[in-house]
Amino acid sequence: MYMPEHLSIMEKLLNRKFEKSELLSVEETEVIRQKSIHTWDKYPQRVFEIAFEERKSSRFQKFIETLAKAAAQDVYLWLPHTRSCGLHKPVKLLAVNFAFEFDWIKEGLFSIVTADGANRLTLDFSEDGGEYLLELEIRGREWSQISY
């Protein structure tokens, strides 16, 4: 039901054609989800709120580069329909298009989790009185040490 939308978002966030065959099964996805929840949940969380447009700034790019260096492994993108459509195979954090448009993900929320499940970055974007905001929630073994 959500597969076309899910694949479309993946293509936009990864700047490339994305095929259904690149997705893991729903069962494999759930195993990874359960492992991740029990791994990063034991680490402290940090929350920062920035203007939505700031995700295109050099400061934000440096922040993402710092995360990539701190946990030098591939990541999963957890989108609103990942659990029902399947998780993609891990990609490089620096391959993610953070210049995404506000309306690409109508739920306004997605997470990036390292392949070992030990770190998570949740991007929660919203509009409040004409102001577009992005809340960054960071949690994990390496990432919770990093400030924006």
Ranges of each domain in the chain? 3-145
Burial of 85 (0-12, 13-18, 19+ CB in 10 A): buried
Mean pLDDT of the 34-50 span:
87
pLDDT in tens, 92-104: 999 999 999 999 9
CB-based contact 125:132 (threshold 8 Å): yes
To the question of pTM greater than 0.85 for the whole model, the response is yes
Separation of CA 57 from chain center:
18
